[in-house]
Amino acid sequence: MLIDTHAHLDFPEFEGEIDAIVERAAQAGVTRIVTIGTSLESSRRAVAIAEAHPAIYAAIGIHPGSAAEAEPNTLAALRELADSPRVVAIGETGLDYYRLEGVDDDAVKAAQASIFQGQLELAAQCGLNVVIHQRGDCLEDTLRLLAPYRGKFRAVFHCFGGSPETAAALLALGHLVSFTGIVTFKNAALMQASATSVPDGSYMVETDCPYLAPVPFRGKRCEPAHTRQTAEKIAALRNQPLEQIAKNTTATAEAFFQLPR
Ligand SMILES: [Zn+2]
């Protein structure tokens, strides 16, 4: 039984289809889903979806791409949302310099850092772990902002695409990584090397749907059922049976998100 640890079920691509999506996921052996908020409104929708579906949990957060929309009361509103027993993490949050590359936009970086730091504080207060979005040349800044919280919570570096060395460095700090369907792509040698090298218990699987559908669905709309293809690929890479991948990644996700077993 697999858990899709990163889905965006509140996105318009899935409107009116959640029941069918949960059903197809269950048929593929994906019995639980964490739906991830990307803005205050998206987080509110994520919590509503989780409250209506026993198989779905919510993470609430402000994606760095939504940092500019954050208002003075955004963090207080997130904090109120965190009272729902269906909320299992803060995120996705983090830094994204990908679109900034070549542009020195200190104001954008400062806005991202500010709302990221506020969410880390919230996670520490609520006793929740954090789902990290990290893209572009910002790993150093991400780790600098996380450093004061060592021992207070753990982070998962979602859609991990870095090297085995970077993965090992993150694990040494007590964090986790998770892998999307990109691991099934032909040109994903670095990610495949990381998915092969990380120890059992240190990684999870996810879709990031509606994006990043694994082979053979590449280019189509992704959905939680496709977690299975990602897990199958990781099983092949690691030379472990799918059942063992499922057992290990599910136990890791249950611990990280404090899910009932
Ligand atoms: Zn995401």
CA of 233 from ligand 1 middle (Å) equals: 21
- Six token digits for residue 148: 């004061």
CA of 240 from ligand 1 middle (Å) equals: 27
For tokens 């679109």, the residue is 99
Q: State the pLDDT confidence band at 142, using cuts at 50, 70 and 90.
A: very high
Q: pLDDT tens digit string along 13-27?
A: 999 999 999 999 999
CA of 6 from ligand 1 middle (Å) equals: 6
With beta carbons less than 8 A apart as the criterion, state whether 230 and 184 touch. Answer: yes
CA of 256 from ligand 1 middle (Å) equals: 17
> Residues 119-133: what's their mean pLDDT?
98
CA of 224 from ligand 1 middle (Å) equals: 13
CA of 223 from ligand 1 middle (Å) equals: 12
With beta carbons less than 8 A apart as the criterion, state whether 232 and 35 touch. Answer: no
Q: pLDDT tens digit string along 153-178?
A: 999 999 999 999 999 999 999 999 99
